Structure 1
């Protein structure tokens, strides 16, 4: 068995007539292992035609572990890009796939560990080179999907003048398939790919990745190289990935303290739209003027580097957020800032006119009620409890207060045949995803003191449902869903999350909450 080849059932791999013998294990990843390899057809590892020593890197992984596109095919499609390793070939053997490529130098995580840090100017040079490589990769309609220091390798042993290479395209994906149209946006509950430490906010929220996410992951990689560690390193990883996303929404000035050029790049990357083409020249200019690069084709002046949007770093106002849907003409009443002691008389007065509660919310000990004649309910009861989401059944509206109380409304005449509900410290992504697959849909949501209550029902009139989580609303995802024909049916907010749509004529209130809106 080859040295360091562990439990592999073979010691060599073949590319045509070339035979490569596996040697020392150079490293292990989630989806494969990398070995040093030597060209056996050459005498003592020396190419008999050129006299050059032939030592390569061989990446091996079980075929069952392949994720997405075959990596060898990706490298083939990206052939000729300066900054990608030369590929000698790829194939399959004994249930494994393998890839033979040039053996490169150390990765940047190793360089940082060995030298106890990397000079700021060197990191800026890394940034310029990495952006150039990503620009070329993106021009071939691919995204890398896992940009991190471990995948940025040096081609020489001089860390002050790095010749940079981007490797490991095992999670690469297409952002366009030759149709001229960008892949469609989507959000699935859970983590959508990459390495957790360096993954973008969108990846943690389960969104389809695009070019912007490669740049955001690069920004986190640069922050890691500049500092001892990232702010979220050492934090206990939660199954609910929205908490990891929340950690990354801190202001860029705290992530890149005293590094204005990196702050600009980070701010630009996180404010790109899903299908927006990055301005790579602009991104590189943030660093090039600092390191004295003289490029007549690139304007590097600060005041000529506009950002499409300003990164929000302040604390937006907290206010009532109302969502409107177009309905057939109906009678509706909206009550805001109702003290708890006055709830009975407001609800009784609406009942006399056959108006039933369709939505409730709370703020600072006061409540909001939406009552209308179009619910189809036959009767209704409500319950105010010091518990958050007490054990009751067939809930049609629920709200929580900062004081830890909940207002739960239960109705007869609704079309639900089954119902499940949960009270969770975080948004219960896994629970919701499991129930969505069992034909439940979310019919009510609420928050209280940072806790989430989610109610899911069967036999709702909803035929298809998607869920958008974000930290800056109105979000791009909500607007895209709206344009695709989706309408908001339930909404909840913490001080970090809120959803909102604009009012129009002949629209009626569909949901209401209190929380944080973008300034």
Structure 2
């Protein structure tokens, strides 16, 4: 966008004071600098980029370093750097003048494919040099100046603005950089960024390719807001992209979309294949301009099991009211079974109860949780919170209880072969659907407190977003606390962090659906799943998986597996199968696992 704002500097002179360039109107501005049009002493057009010194923490701009490395490599096609210098306030870089891509006229499919070929060639050379761009978008693709009679929308493609570039390959070892995730960190452009980038995952080659996909879609689509609503937040952009139905794309572009969105973190894109595929649009399906419906999320049960010595374990699900829940709880306590995991879903409860060797007592009830004071601690007679369930405002609260004899359950006994008792039913049922006048304070949360834990101090808090959640957790990690319980109700997240938990390190994998790849990578790094929670509000889905390194790496905990149900029904049959193999539930969750017809993994193992 051209601006009439005057430059702070109108002339650039060399060390001897001889005029080299004159600076004219502003062409554009970004987060890291501003670009002006200019001319040299022969009246040739140039572009002049100013980058404030106060934004360059370590001296000259990082972009200069990237350009120097790429120029030395000599393979990546770069806009020629003509001159570098500095003023009192800015670092200044003078470049050949390039033009924006001409999109006044909608390009043909053939022209879009030509654009794709040229862009992929640039990425291939850039990536081979060990770099990724990090901010691929239409505005960062420029062309040599068009001739007067040119009818194409670009003549010679260039990728510019390497201010957000990073290395995907370690400079010293030559290996791929390590996978990590920091959800609060994002640099780039929401509209074009991959879901991985938006979620704060370490950047890799796939991110440039996915951003190119969104750029190609934008070139094809006249009504750009139809698929690219200018979201102001990362969560909305992630959900839009995951739900985007790509059935409207031409066949080759549809295949490209499937390929690049399925790339693994450290997988090399098949550049040569796609350069060949985009060589022609012969026999390709046409572009459909009608607005396709969005993909619908699939919600399933996610169950985490660990191989352990034989133990008693029992599950209950579809518990329909508050007092029935307490009947089940009290009956379990009488048999020395304690709640180890609980989920509130579709206005019903599901519980896992087992014989926890460390617990001596347990309580189930409601307690106010301070949402303001991040240093509030929850402690009562050596009882500590071991499960957060839900906020006390559900329609299931306060309903009349059924008789304890109406309750059916399935359990795994502690016999040598791990067989489960044969029961007629798996659901908790209630014959009386009358209502009670009891009301519960909706500022309180339903919690489970246990005596016999290793904890010495706890912090419990409620936050309004996952970003706030991660920031609070990150602060408490530094103080020696670890997440021991996590839940989400609507837009609210609630967490408990405990000091002297049996963990030595902890991370969180966050996604808009089940984060399978992140879990697999964390397993390889020695982490185990220790808590999960999911949220769906206003058609926006989120899931967080807490993974921890155990202080004592006992053999019984070395194998961890995750099973995802085929349908939405509680996986009672699968749990029974696991018990026979001495695999016991350590965490479970009801969450979105994929969107549309996309496949989702039915089974993951830490030994894969």
Shared fold per TM-score greater than 0.5: yes
1:288 aligns with 2:288: no
1:355 aligns with 2:347: no
Shift of 1:91: 4.3
Shift of 1:29: 1.2
Q: Residue in 2 aligned with 1:35?
A: 36
Q: Residue in 1 aligned with 2:436?
A: none
Q: Is the 8 A contact 2:231 2:237 kept in 1?
A: no
Is the alpha carbon distance of 1:146 and 1:203 closer, same or farther for their aligned partners in structure 2, counting shifts above 3 Å? same
Between stretches 277-286 and 130-139, larger displacement belongs to: 277-286
CA distances 1:147-206 after superposition (whole Å, capped 9, x unpaired): 111110011324445311100001111111242310000001224321122111011101
Matches for 1:445-484 after TM superposition, within 5 Å: 445-449=486-490, 451-473=492-514, 475-484=516-525
In structure 2, distance between residues paired with 1:392 and 1:364: 30
Q: Residue in 2 aligned with 1:308?
A: none
In structure 2, distance between residues paired with 1:461 and 1:13: 64
Is the alpha carbon distance of 1:170 and 1:251 closer, same or farther for their aligned partners in structure 2, counting shifts above 3 Å? same
* Stretches of structure 2 lacking an aligned partner (at least 5 in a row): 286-293, 379-383, 398-444, 546-560, 564-577, 595-599, 601-608
In structure 1, distance between residues paired with 2:84 and 2:114: 32
Match among 47, 55, 61 for residue 45 of structure 2 = 55
CA distances 1:358-391 after superposition (whole Å, capped 9, x unpaired): 210133343222223336334322126999x9x9
Matches for 1:224-239 after TM superposition, within 5 Å: 224-227=218-221, 228-231=223-226, 233-235=228-230, 237-238=232-233
**Matched residue of 1:194: which SS?**
coil
Is the alpha carbon distance of 1:479 and 1:16 closer, same or farther for their aligned partners in structure 2, counting shifts above 3 Å? farther
Between stretches 125-134 and 82-91, larger displacement belongs to: 82-91
Q: Residue in 1 aligned with 2:430?
A: none
TM-score (norm 2): 0.70
Q: Residue in 2 aligned with 1:273?
A: 264
Matches for 1:403-414 after TM superposition, within 5 Å: 407-414=446-453
1:6 aligns with 2:7: yes
Matches for 1:393-412 after TM superposition, within 5 Å: 393=378, 394-400=384-390, 407-412=446-451
Q: Residue in 2 aligned with 1:128?
A: 117
Matches for 1:185-264 after TM superposition, within 5 Å: 185-227=179-221, 228-231=223-226, 233-235=228-230, 237-238=232-233, 241-253=234-246, 257-264=248-255
Q: Which has the larger radius of gyration?
A: 2
Shift of 1:329: 5.6
Q: Residue in 1 aligned with 2:593?
A: 517
Over aligned residues, Cα RMSD in angstroms? 3.5
Is the alpha carbon distance of 1:242 and 1:486 closer, same or farther for their aligned partners in structure 2, counting shifts above 3 Å? farther
Q: Residue in 2 aligned with 1:297?
A: none
**Matched residue of 1:265: which SS?**
helix
Q: Residue in 2 aligned with 1:77?
A: 69
In structure 1, distance between residues paired with 2:17 and 2:507: 52
**Matched residue of 2:169: which SS?**
coil
1:66 aligns with 2:42: no
CA distances 1:114-138 after superposition (whole Å, capped 9, x unpaired): x154343322221111111111101
Is the alpha carbon distance of 1:450 and 1:378 closer, same or farther for their aligned partners in structure 2, counting shifts above 3 Å? same
Q: Which has the higher contact order (CA 8 A, sep 6+)?
A: 2
Counting strand residues as a fraction of each chain, which structure ranks higher?
2
Q: Residue in 2 aligned with 1:490?
A: 531
Q: Residue in 2 aligned with 1:310?
A: none
